[in-house]
Chain A
Amino acid sequence: MAKNLILTCMKNEGPFILEWVAHHLCIGFDHFLVYTNDCDDGTVELLDALANAGIVTRIDNPYQLMGQPKPQRGALKHAEGLDLVRNADWVLVSDVDEFVNIHVGDGSLDALVKAVGSAEIISMQWRLFGSSNIDHYEDLPIVKQHSYCAPKFCPRPVQAWGIKSMFRPGPLPAGQFANIGVHRPTGKKTTTPVTWVNGSGKQLPRKFNENGWRLGIGTYGYDLVTLNHYSVRNAESYLVKKDRGRVNHVNRDQGEAYWLRMNFNMSHDLSLQTALPEIERRIAELKTLPNVASCHLHAVKTHKEKIKALMTRDDMIELYREITSPRSKLLSRFLNMLTKEHFADGPRTVPDDLVSKLEQVPYFG
């Protein structure tokens, strides 16, 4: 069965699936276990087409049957019992807006695994990629469109230090840990020390065995691998995302504040661009599989229609206007000047005199 497995949850991600699958197939993942809930944009159909080709296993997310309030938790709990997961060499819990970006050797998963030696868990750290000031949705690779991102050392907001983890299942679902968490295995059941490294291959402190979903000032690292996190994409797609609600934090508002703290257009990173030709070739290859191309087209069409429909709603127009405003674009280049409170309370709390000072900084973007 699967050697290197990616485990994920989706809700209405149709137009973005192909590129994501293609990229991860390129670097050496060989199977995708996808839990879906409440999709109406062709996500299910596309995944089923890929499942017919043996690339994907799709499961209707049984979280409600399991009495779990949150879809993602339910899915992970369910996955803990699956042979597909238990028999894999490596399992990565990741989402469709996250791209594994390996910097060692030939950029393949094998090269990464070799570089970290005996590590049992590799925690890859997010690098937040912003919209690159793109407002409109086009059916083009995400990797190609978005290359502006957060700086490597970015202590605020804490999301910039978030991780997703790749681990080896063992007698327990996650090696020495009993449970698969969104960000990392949890519930250590053994007393033997675990070799757990960050994206630079550096051992994490023992305290981390107990909890923590992010790294920090002493523990961050991107030397071997980065998890490119394209959480906002373009302004139009963001409206769809906002309308959809998130898989995990279903209750929280996803408006301006979320855009502010995730839309980093400060630094420029092109490291994944070299993989682009390979990704595009693989997308074309996937499209030759039965039904895949048509399902993808359908998903793109649905997405565009959805955007059109949303742009008639007042709250959405208001949000669109705010996130595409010059002020918003300006702030996305200077997020290091903002405080924790600004990130929590949204862009309207940023004082005007700060904004007018920032406006005077010359920009050659």
Chain B
Amino acid sequence: MTLPDIASLWIGGNLSWLEQVCLKSFADHGHRTILYTYEGVSNAPEGVEVMDANSIFPNTNFIRHKESGSPAVHADAFRYRMIQLQNVVWVDADILCVQPWDTQNEFIFGWEKKNRVVCNAVLGLPRFSRTLERLNALCADEYPIPPWLTGQSKEDLEKAARDGKPVHVSELKWGVWGPSAVTHFLNETGEMEHAMPQEAFYPVSFKDRRDLVKPGDVVDNIMTDGVYGVHLWNRRLSRRIVTNHNGIAPEDSFLGRALVRHNVDPLLAPIPDKPPPGHPTQEELRRQKAQTTAKEPTVKPAAAPAVAPVTQEPAVGIKRQRLLQSEPYQNAIDNMEGRTEQMFGQLPPVAPPISHDRILVLTSMKNEAPFILEWVAYNKAIGVTHFLVYTNDCSDNTNEILDRLSDLGLVTRVDNPWNPYKTKKKPQHVALEDAMEQPAYEDADWVLTIDVDEFVNIHVGDGTFFDLFKACNDPNVISFTWKFFGNSHVNEYEDRPIMETFTACAPEFIPKPRLGWGFKSMVHKSAPYTKIGVHRPLKISDESKLDQVRWVNGSGRMMPEMLLTNNGWRSTKRSLGYRMATLNHYILRSAESFLVKRDRGRINHTEQDQGIDYWMRRNYTSETDDRMLSRLPMMQKELDGLKADKKLAALHEEAVLWHKDKIAKLKVNPGYNELYRDLTEVRRPDAIYLTKPEAESSDAQPVEDLGLLIPEPEREVMSDQAAAKKLALLTRMLKGEVSSNETIADQMAAPEVKRHDAWLPEPPNSPMGGDQEPRFEEMRRQAAQSGGFFWEGPDNALFFEPVGRRLVVTFDNVHTARLQEQRWPWGYPQITKQLGCSVLGIMSKNRGWFRHDFVHDCFDHLKATGWFKQFDKVLFYGASMGGFGALTYARACPGANVLALEPQTTLNPEILPNDTRWPWTRKLDWTGRYCDAREGIGEARKVVVVSDPYFELDRAHVARLKGDNVQKLRLPFFGHKAAPALLQMGNLKSLLTDMADGEVNTNEYFRLLRNRRDLARFQHTIINHAKDRGHLKLALQGCEYTLKKRKARNIRLIKEDIEEQLKGHRSG
């Protein structure tokens, strides 16, 4: 058997280690490997022959792509001629060979995207191939009209040719001689039948390219016998290696292992640090960082006492206004932003210089006359220079006011060309399309699309856009997330600033559904997008320009890369940010104005009704955000300036009168009158307690369909009784039975918990000499305040807080032990607040499986002193590492109950040699006291263990637990992810509640388990599982069920795949 010869072309100096390892991988697998160059290279790896490219294609006629300067067009033509002349297989220099290419076929190429594109990064064709012939014929013409083009683009080219001005290949769209040509001719000639599946050469898709440099074996796991080469997506991946990995693939990544395997020293052939134009090199970045850190000590903050809400933000050096919300919600948002802060940093500080001179606001309006001036004044105050306003069908004097502002040079007003009879598009979208042709748009540096009820509240510096740009390191797109401001009993309309009147709003964190996390964006012209959408820029001009996008969220953090192209318009857990700017959305205003608004209809959703449901779903008033008050003076100054124009002032007065007049008229209409009385005299539940608030359902739904739910952050810290009481009240409110005069404050207040007067043991005789762990600061304080104790050892700590006469002993797990925030025992809020149990938390500073004398000593001591006996019931509780703890230490309290999720029994390699999931635990001592959970459960009253019976590693542990008192609950198909799954299905709460009393209701467990059908993780697992085992129809059912519930691209693809397989079965 002879292996085919492999060849590639290299243009541009010496090779980097990435090309070296790729080329060497072919040589090492026994292929003759040739590298063609025009200039020669000095560092081709051992075993690779360097040849003169002029012998194939003289460089006298070298073609570069006009726009990008890329030599790829030339390389395309080169490879076809090379294949013809030399009978070799072409590979791009970023294909890594993983096994010899003894495919027994002269046609060597593969799908990059199944049934759509054959990439030409790997191309082997026999000399007689008709595809090869046609490709060479195509490339012989430097003014080609690609035969696969249709429609306008084809006509354009043909016309140009007729006019004697044919278009040169270097000016055509990217890749005209490349993959599209190859794919077209292969189809045309029928030679496509030789196409190898995607896994052959492109097993790692462009989207997943980062897996190649991720530590671990993500990529190795998808390697099958069908993988011949791996395309490394050099152009984008190498940049990432430079920026994120110091220029060298991590040794324990797929690519790093390739370096070791092929003996390529990356230090000798570094990847050049060539950033996209306008971006700094890594060296420049480092220098800059060194400078800023060096400067820091010299700019010590002045000793002047700071005003309360204003604090110094050290990273930026700009003062920032902070908000304090009610505790559960504040904690929730702080935790979330704290976590994303670690994943998405600030932009690199060196930005290409861009102009901030002209900031344009682009908006649509209908009948907003009395509210225009304040909004214009505020925006002007924070830095907006011009307004482009589209209006349609205004019956008040909106147009006149805008036209007067236009006379003053501040506004350009355009009649919205929207015509309901000609287009199905919505007025706002028509306006946006039209706007891109307007001179006002073309003049602008920045474009911000917001409506007249939206105010960008900037919390840094003096609250202007310039301060924001500075604080965010000069981005070119900024997205501001909404915060809904409800109506807090403002009934009558007054001509008073909106930003002063309304300060009651929604909390920043609302777990589900993600209402109100929509965002609006401001876009700089330099950002490589081609379209402005309502919420964000759309249609990136070229995927390769992603590097030029500098997009931040309202906290000044970079957006997740996925969001840059996916057209998403709502913030996600990862992209939500409120720390530097908020988009205050005054969606309701006064009850009287609401009547007018309802009369008008919304601009975009023209057909929807706006009744009491609409109101209720948007009436968020549980928090207060009054940071806008400090911006009032600057707005007022601009407003006074505007009103100095007599004509404008008069028009505004007129608008106010018109609005009041309209209100008066509406209020005599019986329907509106009733609505008004409902709005003002009946107390309705706040929107955060509704299950289907804004944007989650059609507004036409009747009130009866609305459900009530206390959101998790709040519910978690409420006792069951308090929650039941609150829900009862909310239900009455929903039914309209609570009048606004009724006092409800005392009904909402949480009942005082009477603490169990527990006696405290002396500390044990174990060395307490641990360094004080900073993450335990708040626990120390809480233990002291609540009359509990806090014992800290070198690696662990015990925290006790007395609450009720039942005790839950809860253990840290690997996940919680690593959290960087202030720590609490696992399940702490639920145990203490909801269940009213006392808590003993076994905290771990590291992931040491409690294998420390300190913990043993503490439990021995608690047992010896009889401390546990003062409690009515004791439950030992934990997951994974915590499950080990719960099972093992339960012997310290005979008669206790145990709830353990996917626990380990021991990690002694001599007992369970296969469990190598946590390699560092092998070094721990698995002998001596409390070393095996199996021995810990004998004296327990009832032991409940939850785990996945199909997950071998966990099953081995659970199988070791035997006894009449042991009950094993199955949780199939979740692997080692029981805790999060149970949490999502609602099982965890009911299990813990039951087990605190020592009982478990299996019916309830399996009833709730059915909720797994709606967990994406379960859907994937079960569908793939069924598919892999050949139960195609079952898998298909799973897909259909899932797709009925949600749109999921990946599930759809699986479904198509299965359908194809089924078809194959039938015809075969």
Binding site for B on A (CB under 8 A): 153, 155-156, 189, 205, 216-218, 220, 336
Contact A155:B263 (CB < 8 A) given known A216-B251, A217-B248, A217-B251: yes
Q: Does B260 contact A (CB under 8 A)?
A: yes
Instruction: Say yes or no for B771: interface residue by CB 8 A criterion.
Output: yes
Asked whether, in the complex, the Cβ of A218 is within 8 Å of the Cβ of B248, the reply is yes
- B771 contact set on A, CB distance < 8 A: 189
- The answer to whether A336 and B251 touch (CB under 8 A), given A189-B771, A217-B256, A218-B246, is no
Residues of A within 8 A of B668 (CB): none
Tell me which residues across on chain B come within 8 A of A153, comparing CB atoms.
Answer: 263, 265, 267-268
State the majority secondary structure of interface residues on B.
Answer: loop
Q: How far is the CB of A72 from chain B (nearest CB, A)?
A: 15
Query: Total A-B pairs in contact (CB under 8 Å)?
Result: 30
B266 CB-CB contact with A under 8 Å? yes
Measured in the bound complex, the distance between the Cα atoms of B260 and A153 in whole Å is 10
Residues on B with C-beta less than 8 A from A189 are: 771
B263 near A217 with CB under 8 A, answer no
**Least CB distance, B1005 to chain A, in whole angstroms:** 40
Interface: B259 (CB within 8 A): yes
Per the CB 8 Å criterion, the residue count for chain B at the interface is: 15
Apart from A153-B265, A216-B256, A220-B267, 6 more pairs, CB < 8 Å: A153-B263, A189-B771, A217-B248, A217-B249, A217-B266, A336-B263
Contact with A along B242-258 (1 / 0, CB 8 A): 00001111110000100
A189 to B845, CA, bound (A): 13
User: A347 vs B788: C-alpha distance in the bound complex, in angstroms?
Assistant: 64
**Chain B residues whose CB sits within 8 angstroms of the CB of A220 once the complex forms:** 267
Most buried by B among A155, A189, A205, A216: A155
User: Could you pull out 29 A-B pairs where Cβ atoms are within 8 angstroms?
Assistant: A153-B263, A153-B265, A153-B267, A153-B268, A155-B259, A155-B260, A155-B263, A156-B260, A189-B771, A216-B251, A216-B256, A217-B248, A217-B249, A217-B251, A217-B256, A217-B259, A217-B260, A217-B265, A217-B266, A217-B267, A218-B246, A218-B247, A218-B248, A218-B250, A218-B251, A218-B266, A218-B267, A220-B267, A336-B263
Distance (whole angstroms) from the CB of B22 to the closest CB of chain A: 16
A220–B251 CA distance with the chains assembled, in angstroms: 12
Complex CA distance for A224 and B251, rounded to whole angstroms: 23
Residues in B249-284 with C-beta less than 8 Å from chain A: 249-251, 256, 259-260, 263, 265-268
Q: Residues of A contacting B248 with CB < 8 Å?
A: 217-218
Q: How far, in whole Å, are A148 and B259 apart by their CA atoms in the complex? A: 25
B contact set with A: CB distance below 8 Å: 246-251, 256, 259-260, 263, 265-268, 771
Tell me, in angstroms, the Cα distance from A153 to B771 when the chains sit together: 42
Give complex CA distance A156, B259 in Å. Answer: 11
Kindly list chain A residues whose C-beta atoms are within 8 Å of the C-beta of B266: 217-218
Q: Which residue of B has the minimal Cβ distance to A154?
A: B263
Closest CB-CB distance, A343 to chain B, in whole Å?
13
A336 — which chain B residues lie within 8 A by C-beta? 263
Residue in chain B with minimal CB distance to A153: B265
B177 to chain A, nearest CB (A): 37
- Between A156, A216, A220, the greatest number of chain B beta carbons within 10 A of the residue's beta carbon is seen for A216
Q: How far is the CB of B212 from chain A (nearest CB, A)?
A: 15
Q: How far is the CA of A153 from the CA of B20 in the complex (A)?
A: 15
> In this complex, which of A153, A189, A205 has the most chain B Cβ atoms within 10 angstroms of its Cβ?
A153
Give every chain B residue within 8 A of A156 (Cβ-Cβ): 260
Minimum Cβ distance to chain B for residue A110 (Å): 28
- Closest A residue to B251 using CB positions: A216
Give the distance to chain B from A183, nearest Cβ to Cβ, in Å.
14
**Listed residue (A155, A156, A189, A217) with the most chain B CB atoms within 10 angstroms of its CB:** A217
Q: Which residues of chain B come closer than 8 Å to A218, judged between CB atoms?
A: 246-248, 250-251, 266-267
Q: Give the top 9 A-B pairs by smallest Cβ distance, nearest first.
A: A218-B248, A155-B260, A153-B265, A216-B251, A217-B251, A217-B259, A336-B263, A217-B266, A155-B263
Q: Using Cβ atoms and an 8 Å threshold, which residues of chain B touch A216?
A: 251, 256
Max chain A C-beta neighbours (<10 A), residue from B247, B249, B260, B266? B260
A216 CA / B245 CA spacing, docked (Å) = 14
Name the A residues within 8 Å of B268 (CB-CB): 153
CA–CA, A68 to B16, complex, Å? 49
Q: In the assembled complex, which residues on chain A have CB atoms less than 8 Å from the CB atom of B250?
A: 218
| Min CB–CB distance B255 → chain A (angstroms) | 10
Interface centre among A153, A205, A218, A336 (most CB of B within 10 A): A218
Q: Which one of B246, B247, B263 has the highest number of Cβ atoms from chain A below 10 Å of its Cβ? A: B263
Residues of B within 8 A of A155 (CB): 259-260, 263
Least Cβ distance of A236 to chain B in Å? 32
A205 contacts which chain B residues (CB < 8 A)? 246
- B267: chain A residues within 8 A (beta carbon): 153, 217-218, 220
Identity of the chain A residue whose Cβ is nearest the Cβ of B252 in the assembled complex: A216
**Minimal Cβ-Cβ distance residue in B for A151:** B263
Q: Which of B246, B247, B249, B251: most chain A Cβ within 10 A? A: B251
Complex: chain B residue closest to A156, CB-CB: B260
Q: Cα distance A189–B770 when bound, in Å?
A: 11
Give the distance to chain B from A177, nearest Cβ to Cβ, in Å. 14
In the complex the two chains form, what is the Cα distance from A216 to B247 in whole Å? 14
Nearest chain A CB to B766's CB is how many angstroms away? 18
B263 neighbours in A (Cβ, 8 Å): 153, 155, 336
Closest to B920 in A: A211
Q: From residue A114, how far is it (CB to closest CB) to chain B in Å?
A: 23
A355 to chain B, nearest CB (A): 18
| Bound-state Cα–Cα, A156 to B190, Å | 47
Expressed in whole angstroms, the minimum distance between the Cβ of A186 and any Cβ of chain B is 11
Name the residue on B nearest A200 (C-beta): B267
Q: Quick one: closest B residue to A336, CB to CB?
A: B263
The docked-state distance in angstroms from the alpha carbon of A336 to that of B261 is 9
Question: Closest CB-CB distance, A62 to chain B, in whole Å?
Answer: 20
What residue in chain A is nearest B247 (Cβ atoms)? A218
Least CB distance, B920 to chain A, in whole angstroms: 8
Which partner residue on chain B sits nearest A202 by CB separation? B267
Closest to A158 in B: B260
CA distance A153 to B248 in the complex (A): 15
Which residues of A are found within 8 Å of B246, using beta-carbon distances? 205, 218
Determine the distance from Cα of A155 to Cα of B258 in the docked complex, in whole angstroms. 11
Bound together, the chains give a CA A220 to CA B267 distance in angstroms of 9
A49 to chain B, nearest CB (A): 39
Chain B nearest Cβ from A361, distance in angstroms: 13
Q: How far is the CB of B101 from the nearest CB of chain A, in Å?
A: 21
- Shortest C-beta distance, A337 to chain B (Å), equals 9
Residues of chain A lying within 8 A (CB to CB) of residue B256? 216-217
Q: How far is the CA of A189 from the CA of B251 in the complex (A)?
A: 27
Residue of A nearest to B259 (CB): A217
**Chain A minimum-CB-distance residue to B246:** A218
**Which A residues are in CB contact (< 8 Å) with B260?**
155-156, 217
Cα separation A205 to B260 with both chains bound (whole Å): 19
Least CB distance from B463 to A in Å reads 35
C-alpha spacing A153/B259, complex, angstroms: 11
How many angstroms between the C-alpha atoms of A218 and B246 in the bound complex? 9
Least Cβ distance of B892 to chain A in Å?
A: 25
A216 closest partner in B (C-beta): B251
Complex CA gap A205/B252 in Å reads 15
- With a CB–CB cut-off of 8 A, which chain B residues contact A217? 248-249, 251, 256, 259-260, 265-267
Give A220's nearest chain B residue, CB to CB: B267
* Alpha-carbon distance between A220 and B260 when the two chains are bound, in angstroms: 13
Report how far A336 CA is from B264 CA in the complex, Å. 11
A336 to B28, CA, bound (A): 12
